[in-house]
Amino acid sequence: MANRNLKVIILAAGKGTRMKSELPKVLFQVAGKPMVDYVIDTAESLDPEEIVVIIGSGAELLRNHLKNRNVSFVVQAEQLGTGHAVMQAEECFSDFDGKILILCGDMPLVKKDTIEKFIAKSTDQKVSFISVKVKDPKGYGRVLRSANGSLISIKEEKDASETEKKLDEINTGIYLVDAKILKERLKDISNENAQKEYYLTDIVKKGAEIYLADDETEFIGINDRKALSEASKNIYKEINNSLMLNGVTIIDPSFTYIGGDVKIAKDVTIYPNTYISGKTVIGSDTIIYPGCRIIDSIIEEDCEIKDNSLIENSFVGARSSVGPMAHLRPESRLMGENKIGNFVETKKITFGIGSKASHLTYLGDAEIGSNVNVGCGTITCNYDGISKHKTVIGDDVFVGSDVQFVAPIKIGNGALIAAGSTITKDVPEDSLAITRADQKNIEGFVKKWKEKKLKSKNGEK
């Protein structure tokens, strides 16, 4: 049930000039996921009455990306500062009698636990914000305290004196404010500062409670691609540490990149230079060798994913082997105990239990039965230049090397397809299909052919 006393505003309108891109800053990926998604995930975990995302630069891109999320949008047409951004959302809380939590769309590392502790401690306060002490405060607003530790003000760096710039406690930009108080204090914000912007920090001028957080790494504000890389490293490190503590062997965590939505069972071994992302699930006792990339796929237990293989939106059944150098394109389904070997590519297929394609093969738009052996160089010719067509191969079929199946076509159970055949007609079960031309041996041909070539080269007739 939604928390009727809480609404969340996410500031996501900034262009991100230092990213040097037309893409809105909050859509840049951190550890394989747009940074704004992390912030919305955190907001959703609090179960607020409403989540309002303030958009501006690249507004339509953000709308499209978030179209399936339960959020409202407010447009900040001109980027005139964080205070101005919240002013645009005033209608969302003008009649609201609860708290407004303000989050930054470019802070993906902030933990749910940190926000929950902040809210719990700030319940009785009219205005609260999170601060943190950092090693390098450059670029952040400094928190000025009195001798007794209470807040004097927040000074943006461009307005701070040299002495104030030496302070190491910064404002993170995360606030919790009574809705009615927020509406009143927004009226007092001015743009009389070095940047001629309406700073949200001005809402603390009439007093605010400070919540000093412990870990500065949670509050990395991503303003350039260097910070983007740092944030990704932190997330990957946290994910890998959690997996290793739960029974996953990661040979070299520094060179292993696993997304936050990936599920991995115990006794899985993962070698370096591996990328696993999306909603991937990996079963126990599976080994993933170096250089693999796995996206939105299910790998069941006791599988081997060999070196430099790519698996996309696919299913790999238990006790299967994939690779090395294999590519499972979307909608490939290996039902179990399968072998997909060197330089084999599959797309939109079902591969029955125990079937094998060991090397140099393309299988697309096909339904292949159990215990089928697919020989080297086999191709399902699924595209006629206009439409895709399906190849259906029954159980216990043996396919020789260098075979082309020209779809649509059906091969019956137990059939034998001779090497070098181009199959254009259905094959009944237990039949041999062969389309080779008769072999001819012309004795003495090579000697005569070479003599003719040499005479021609020397100008002889």
Q: Could you say which DSSP state residue 141 is in?
A: P
* Residue closest to 359 by CA, chosen among 322, 334, 329: 322
Which of the following is catalytic: 65, 84, 327, 359?
359
Q: How far apart are CA 154 and CA 190, in angstroms?
A: 14
Helix axes 35-45, 112-121, angle to 10 degrees: 50
Q: How far apart are CA 405 and CA 425, in angstroms?
A: 9
Q: How far apart are CA 270 and CA 38, in angstroms?
A: 25
Q: How far apart are CA 109 and CA 345, in angstroms?
A: 38
Burial 240-278 (b: 16+ CB within 10 A, else e): beebeeeebebeebeebbbbbbbebbeebebbeebebbb
Phi then psi dihedrals of residue 17, to 5 deg: -55, -40
Catalytic residue list contains 65? no
The β-bridge partners of 206 are: none
* Residue closest to 357 by CA, chosen among 309, 320, 408, 406: 320
Identify the three-state secondary structure at position 325: coil
* Residues annotated as catalytic (active site), given as ranges: 359
